[in-house]
Structure 1
Amino acid sequence: MWWHTATMAGISLAFGGLLSNLEVYLIEEFNIKSISAAKIFNMVNGLVSILPIGAAILADSFLGCYSVIWFSSLISSLGMLLITLTAAFSKLRPPPCQSTGSNNLCTDPTRLQLGVLYLSLALAVLGMSGNRFTLAPMGAYQFDKPKHQGIFFNWYIFVIYTCLIISTTAIVYVQNNVSWAWGFGISTAANALGLLLFVLGTRFYRQLKPQGSPFARLARVVIAAIRNRGVKLSKNPEDYCQDIETKTPTLPTKFFRVLNRAAIKSTQGDVANHEITGSVRKSWKFCAVTEVEDFKNLIKLLPLWTSALLVSVPLAIQMSMGILQALTMDRHLGHNFQIPAASVAVFLSISTCITVCFTDRVLMPVWSKFAPRPMTPLQRIGIGHLVDVLSMAALALVEVRRLKIARSHNLQDQVNAVVPMSIFWLVPSLALAGMGEAFHFPGHIAFYYQEFPMYLKSTSTAVVSLSIGIAFYMGNALIDAIRRSTDWLPDNINKGRLDNVFWVITILGGVNFCYFLVCASLYKYKTVENVVDDDSVNKA
């Protein structure tokens, strides 16, 4: 499986090499205003998190994981090559800004330059989206035993976070201190090498053929319920269509009773006295009770899924605005070395890795020893919610201090002025954010994997990615709303009140935490016995 691992490493390095320093590249090389660059950064991250759901549908329904991976890798390689060309050739970028005292005279990029930039980002994002959550299920397909699958997922996460740490340090350093062309070139080469190794390992892979879209089953429930809207419901289990595997006829639950009509046998006789077989199952006139109940379970998950949106908004804001903060802070480590602004994200990644290891090796064993029941996925998510709120409060306090120092040195009117305050003041809030992610991100994956219908297991992780992607766009919408109604977010953040933005997000996070507690207290697992600890999740 080293072929597959090498592919993951190459694609992850390319992904980190592009996104880690993208905001700085837009500001310094394309003369894009800081807040606009932050919004583009959020938009790109949002797309990378939303589009995997489409790749998962294509892989499950039509093309299979293998075809989606190699084609996506090819597309992302072309995108990375194109963005490398924008860094290598000055004609594809606007001229550098000219400093005139307290102001900078900057030339906006032309339509052609923006067109090439956006095309390269679109290709890179489209390709990386097809790989991110498709490599994992294909890797798991290579193993028969759940134990071996669990080991693979552990290595999968380890490789991703290791490559993220490398990209946010080494590659970002090359981009900022050697050249942008070399930095993006390394990422392009890593992406191409990953694609090459993946293709060379083709004969070693066990490939799973497409099984048809699982979402068609969900759509059939809605269509069948509408078509049978005039049929009266029955209390007799024999009047409902049962799955062929069902030995004892069952009644659908009373929750969302309107959908129960999708499973009732047709009065027209086309399914009367017939069990659902493989050929009849494709009918859009009726569904099995199990399919109706699967659809209902997804409806029950919606409130908890919506609570996950505001969990990711602080992370999205912290990633984009944190880079803007870092650009205006003292980033020196010693006399000769300066930490790249984009590298501050490495503290979040390191914190996440450490917390995951601590949770797996220390917290969970101690919890299992002294607690009457294992820690549930919802409990892990709740801890992550709370820690995320604390991280935003810590970031707001740091920004209060940074602005105070900027005003005491009369730096608020100077463009891109560096405040004499160490970048390491950001570490506590980033460490807290990493701890929160180490709790709620695996918690969400475990929860959805456990509660989703069996035929949707392979796309449960894409649902988590979808919530993260939407959160980036919610972050952009929040930034727009604040800029329209207040003066807190000028392009020169030394003149603004970024601390107020962080306090608003902290309050929203607190309200969302309360909303989550209500949803979690009302939610009932499909079966209590299915609530498992982390070891069981890793073996699933």
Structure 2
Amino acid sequence: MMSSLDDDAETQLLQQSSPKSKKGGWITFPFLIATRAGMTVAALGWSANLIVYLIDKYNIESIDAAQIFNVVNGCMALFPIIVAIIADSFLGCFAVIWISSIISLLGMFLLTLTATISSLRPAPCNEESSFCTTPSPLQYTNLFLAVALASIGCAGTSFTVGTMGADQLDNPEHQENFFNWFLFVWNAASIISATVIVYVQDNVSWGLGYGLCAAANLLGLFSFLLGKHYYRYVQPQGSPFKDIARVLFAAFSKRKVFLSTRNEDYFSELHLEVDGQHDGIKELAASATPHKETFKFLNHAALISQADIQSDGSIRQSWKLCTVQQVEDLKTLLRIAPIWATGIFLTTPMGMLSTLTVLQALTMDTCIVSNFKFPVGSLVVFSLLSGAISLTIVDRLIFPLWQKTFGKTPTPLQRLGTGHVLNVLSIVIAALVESKRLQIARASYIVQELTSSTVPMSVFWLVPQLALSGMGEAFHFPGQASLYYQEFPASLKSTSTAMVALLIAIGYYLSTALTDFVRKVTNWLPDDLNHGRLNYLYWVLAMIGALNFGLYLTSAGVYKYRNDQDDKTVDNSSNQGDATLYY
């Protein structure tokens, strides 16, 4: 990848000398990649260990802390979609990035204050009586304000920095190289956060740990602003969601109008070229985009009615008339919706596994050697490493072997299906490990009459389920991004990765709701997991995952790709989908 930067040096000089491209190009790469690194270290640094912070410093019960963590992660997955719409429609990427960076910096500054000023936290629990003081309303307010600002700010840069980086380069191959580096830096910065920052928080000082996050955020903001004079600025083009709203509104408004069987009676972009010329409009029948019979109700949106024709014969532009292409774009989204919906019950167990694993780890032996303990918040590093290694193996070994054996690369649907299977297996492994942990815990209570909640079982028993989960993510997240990028209409390409982020957000919110439901109707999730039945919940999640996989197979079996593409096209779109997934 580094050789790409050297090979493109001459091209960059030519671009700079061109009047069209006086700004942009690879010269912006160091500024944007440093911004991504700083913001990633900051974001994961404060969020990865949030459960432990809430339990240790705010006396919040473990399950409640996990619920808060789920909501925070859901917001950090959902906010980028909202921010992306704002960037596309109103402010542009540059303004959104620096504003979001300042917002997240304020949030991390407040978090640092909560960790350093004792009056902003409740008093520590009394170990002799097990009495814990709950946070006051003011302490809760300060905490949640800090978390909200940090979440919104970090989410505001996660998509837009990558989008702005792609805007600086004209060649698609250069953009792909940029995204490869972008993914590499994201993984490296995430691992640093999950190890170094979390270790400082657990073993040195929470205030210093959050202070390092704020410093990383500040460096990212400084790096971004330093490249201000080199960036190419793309003006907001409007959100594609506006077209979706227009089609729905127009179709409902004309629901009582009879549909026509003639192509020329439906509005297309070609009508604009011959507007008011009746002979020209008649000639559109052969060249106009044909309307399709699926989801016929939406065809009303493109039907040219008498009310759409003005006195001079021209067509009135309004929200009650859309082009055939806009209608067909929405139909494509509806056709892919069943496959997308199965992703909801794929990400929901993942969200529960990521939080409940931390709670399991808090009850297990974290000692590595002598007095050195493994930071519980660093467990996420095993998923990150597994995902990164799996991506490398998939791209460098599995895909080439598949190509040689079958003469083509795996389709996005096949890749997504593999991810389904691996994630179900990860939940099954989690259920088996938890059953073993409970067996050891109860034997320890009976035989040794232990009063401590720590189970004599190594925390590294949790690594297999995390590794399998990371492997699953390496298949199904790029598989989804590849599928959406390949199948979505050209006007909606920029929203394909947002659909993946939306799945993650919904998954975290549903996992929160499901956890609440389980707590109300069962005794599986008490505050002390040693007296619960978390393994039962894992088995339920595994069964849900298996049923969801069956629904996926049904949906994928009847799905027809939008275009018949050759192997090369599928492979290229798959690569592009992998690249855009992480920005």
The two structures have a TM-score, normalised by structure 2, of 0.89
Check if 1:447 corresponds to 2:486.
no
Q: Deviations over 1:127-173 (max 9, x none)?
A: 11111111111111111111111111111111111111111111000
Q: Report what 1:360 is aligned to.
A: 395
Which segment is superposed worse, 369-378 or 389-398?
A: 369-378
Check if 1:36 corresponds to 2:64.
yes
Check if 1:341 corresponds to 2:369.
no
SS of the equivalent of 1:420 reads strand
* Cα RMSD after superposing both structures: 1.8
Q: Report what 1:428 is aligned to.
A: 464
Check if 1:49 corresponds to 2:77.
yes
Query: Relative to 1, partners in 2 of residues 1:493 and 1:219: Cα closer, same or farther, differing over 3 Å?
Result: same
Aligned partners of 2:59 and 2:134 also within 8 Å: yes
Identical-residue share of aligned pairs (%): 48
Check if 1:254 corresponds to 2:293.
yes
Pairwise CA distance, 1:230 = 2.2
Aligned partners of 1:78 and 1:124 also within 8 Å: yes
Decide which of 124, 137, 142 is 1:96's aligned counterpart: 124
Q: Deviations over 1:182-228 (max 9, x none)?
A: 00000010011101110111111111100122211111111111222
Check if 1:537 corresponds to 2:574.
yes
Q: Report what 1:121 is aligned to.
A: 147
Pairwise CA distance, 1:416 = 5.8
SS of the equivalent of 1:373 reads coil
Q: Report what 1:321 is aligned to.
A: 356
Q: Deviations over 1:292-312 (max 9, x none)?
A: 100111111211111111111
**Hey, what's the Cα distance between the residues in 1 that align with 2:452 and 2:71?**
24
Q: Deviations over 1:265-307 (max 9, x none)?
A: 121352699788xxx65x2121111111001111112111111
One-letter amino acid matched to 2:532: G
Unpaired segments ≥5 residues, structure 2: 1-28, 274-283, 578-583
Pairwise CA distance, 1:535 = 4.5
Q: Report what 2:321 is aligned to.
A: 286
**Hey, what's the Cα distance between the residues in 2 that align with 1:52 and 1:272?**
45
Check if 1:133 corresponds to 2:184.
no
Alignment of 1:517-536 (within 5 A): 517-529=553-565, 532-536=569-573
Alignment of 1:164-313 (within 5 A): 164-244=190-270, 248-268=287-307, 270=309, 283-313=318-348
Aligned partners of 1:314 and 1:505 also within 8 Å: yes
Aligned partners of 1:243 and 1:275 also within 8 Å: no
Aligned partners of 1:367 and 1:375 also within 8 Å: yes
Q: Report what 1:396 is aligned to.
A: 431
**Hey, what's the Cα distance between the residues in 1 that align with 2:331 and 2:340?**
14
Q: Report what 1:487 is aligned to.
A: 523
Query: Relative to 1, partners in 2 of residues 1:274 and 1:399: Cα closer, same or farther, differing over 3 Å?
Result: farther
One-letter amino acid matched to 1:105: F
**Hey, what's the Cα distance between the residues in 2 that align with 1:154 and 1:23?**
32
One-letter amino acid matched to 1:307: T
**Hey, what's the Cα distance between the residues in 1 that align with 2:341 and 2:310?**
38
SS of the equivalent of 1:374 reads coil
Aligned partners of 1:360 and 1:534 also within 8 Å: no
Unpaired segments ≥5 residues, structure 1: none
Pairwise CA distance, 1:259 = 0.7
**Hey, what's the Cα distance between the residues in 1 that align with 2:312 and 2:197?**
65
Query: Relative to 1, partners in 2 of residues 1:83 and 1:530: Cα closer, same or farther, differing over 3 Å?
Result: farther
Pairwise CA distance, 1:334 = 1.4
Q: Deviations over 1:438-477 (max 9, x none)?
A: 0001111111111222122222211211110110111111
Aligned partners of 1:265 and 1:272 also within 8 Å: no
Query: Relative to 1, partners in 2 of residues 1:131 and 1:271: Cα closer, same or farther, differing over 3 Å?
Result: farther
Query: Relative to 1, partners in 2 of residues 1:539 and 1:317: Cα closer, same or farther, differing over 3 Å?
Result: closer
Q: Report what 2:545 is aligned to.
A: 509
SS of the equivalent of 1:285 reads coil
SS of the equivalent of 1:284 reads coil
Check if 1:160 corresponds to 2:186.
yes
Aligned partners of 2:400 and 2:409 also within 8 Å: no
Check if 1:330 corresponds to 2:358.
no
In our comparison, the structure showing a higher alpha carbon Rg is: 2
Report the number of matched residues: 534
SS of the equivalent of 1:421 reads strand
Q: Report what 1:62 is aligned to.
A: 90
SS of the equivalent of 1:449 reads helix
One-letter amino acid matched to 2:185: V
Q: Deviations over 1:381-405 (max 9, x none)?
A: 1000000000000011000000000
Aligned partners of 1:364 and 1:534 also within 8 Å: no
Aligned partners of 2:367 and 2:373 also within 8 Å: yes
Which segment is superposed worse, 303-312 or 523-532?
A: 523-532
One-letter amino acid matched to 1:174: V
Aligned partners of 2:308 and 2:321 also within 8 Å: no
**Hey, what's the Cα distance between the residues in 2 that align with 1:345 and 1:399?**
18
**Hey, what's the Cα distance between the residues in 2 that align with 1:64 and 1:468?**
25
One-letter amino acid matched to 2:353: Q
One-letter amino acid matched to 1:56: A
Query: Relative to 1, partners in 2 of residues 1:271 and 1:321: Cα closer, same or farther, differing over 3 Å?
Result: farther
Pairwise CA distance, 1:530 = 6.8
Q: Deviations over 1:314-343 (max 9, x none)?
A: 221111110111111111111131001111
Aligned partners of 1:133 and 1:461 also within 8 Å: no
**Hey, what's the Cα distance between the residues in 2 that align with 1:372 and 1:96?**
64
Check if 1:405 corresponds to 2:440.
yes
**Hey, what's the Cα distance between the residues in 2 that align with 1:398 and 1:275?**
70
Query: Relative to 1, partners in 2 of residues 1:535 and 1:358: Cα closer, same or farther, differing over 3 Å?
Result: farther
Query: Relative to 1, partners in 2 of residues 1:272 and 1:339: Cα closer, same or farther, differing over 3 Å?
Result: farther
Query: Relative to 1, partners in 2 of residues 1:336 and 1:452: Cα closer, same or farther, differing over 3 Å?
Result: same
SS of the equivalent of 1:98 reads coil
Which segment is superposed worse, 237-246 or 255-264?
A: 237-246
SS of the equivalent of 2:92 reads helix
Aligned partners of 2:383 and 2:466 also within 8 Å: yes
**Hey, what's the Cα distance between the residues in 1 that align with 2:450 and 2:557?**
51
SS of the equivalent of 1:333 reads strand
**Hey, what's the Cα distance between the residues in 2 that align with 1:446 and 1:77?**
33
Q: Report what 1:475 is aligned to.
A: 511
SS of the equivalent of 1:99 reads coil
